[in-house]
């Protein structure tokens, strides 16, 4: 894991944090833990505002730019906003990571606001908020391939739409045909019943006359 040297980048970091807050729902902060959860399950831990997991690479793209041997860290949001937050030092494996197409750099935001359990003099526990300097760390993780969304061009989409219209029309026609067939069968059944109702009395009448 690489620690970002943020010296001289205070303004960029402030702007980055302000933008990052807009990408989190209130319920997603602090690892989605309530104060009661922290009391019960994280009694001795610092629970940071932006959680313990790396930021989503879908929302924040971590770019490592090599400029004359200096590896600068550029954070680019999905809306196009970018922030230069510092540099990382080269080691024997950094270039190997950068050339590995199966991995991607992911950013951890440490520090800043956090919650922790404190104990009062009377022995009661409660949650208190603290602040500490931000610390950014980068780890190269395997890329997660998403197969949930398939993108299609406008021509294919139009063809699919037309096919769907024809399918819906055929379904309606089939349903209408079934309804008519059912109605015809009902009418035929009624016709047979009427014939019986007329024929039986005539036969009985002839029987008594003869």
- Are 134 and 193 in the same domain? no
Query: Domain range spanning residue 137?
Result: 2-142
pLDDT at residue 192, as a whole number: 58
Among 19-23, 42-46, 93-97, 200-204, whose mean pLDDT is lowest? Answer: 200-204
When computed from its CA atoms, the radius of gyration of the chain, rounded to whole angstroms, is 36
- Are 127 and 169 in the same domain? no
The pLDDT tens digits for 30-84 are: 999 999 999 999 989 999 999 999 998 889 999 999 887 889 999 999 999 999 9
pLDDT at residue 67, as a whole number: 81
pLDDT at residue 149, as a whole number: 46
- Domain assignment present for residue 149? The answer is no
pLDDT at residue 56, as a whole number: 87
Q: What total number of domains does the chain contain?
A: 2
- Are 10 and 60 in the same domain? yes
Whole-number Å distance between alpha carbons of 137 and 4? 6
Domain edge (last residue) among 98, 115, 142: 142
- Are 122 and 23 in the same domain? yes
User: Where are the extended beta strands (E) located within 89-196?
Assistant: 103-119, 125-142
pLDDT at residue 121, as a whole number: 87
For the record, the structure tokens of 122 come out as 């009377």
The pLDDT tens digits for 113-150 are: 999 999 988 889 999 999 999 999 999 999 876 554 44
CB atoms within 10 A of CB 71: 20
Q: What is the mean pLDDT of the chain?
A: 81
- Are 176 and 200 in the same domain? yes
């Amino acid at each position: 894991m690489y620690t970002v040297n943020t010296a001289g980048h205070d303004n960029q970091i402030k702007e980055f944090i302000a933008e990052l807050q807009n990408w989190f729902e209130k319920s997603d902060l602090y690892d989605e833990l309530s104060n009661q959860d922290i009391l019960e399950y994280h009694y001795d831990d610092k629970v940071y505002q932006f959680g313990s997991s790396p930021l989503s690479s879908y929302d924040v793209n971590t770019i490592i730019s090599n400029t004359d041997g200096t590896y600068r860290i550029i954070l680019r949001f999905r809306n196009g906003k970018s922030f230069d937050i510092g540099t990382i030092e080269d080691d024997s494996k950094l270039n190997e990571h950068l050339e590995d197409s199966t991995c991607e750099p992911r950013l951890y935001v440490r520090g800043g606001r956090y919650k922790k359990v404190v104990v009062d003099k009377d022995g009661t526990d409660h949650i208190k908020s603290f602040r500490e300097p931000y610390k950014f760390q980068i780890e190269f993780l395997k890329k997660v391939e998403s197969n949930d969304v398939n993108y299609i061009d406008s021509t294919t989409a139009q063809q699919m739409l037309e096919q769907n219209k024809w399918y819906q029309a055929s379904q309606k026609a089939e349903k209408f045909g079934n309804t008519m067939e059912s109605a015809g069968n009902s009418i035929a059944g009624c016709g047979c019943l009427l014939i019986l109702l007329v024929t039986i009395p005539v036969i009985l009448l002839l029987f008594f006359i003869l």
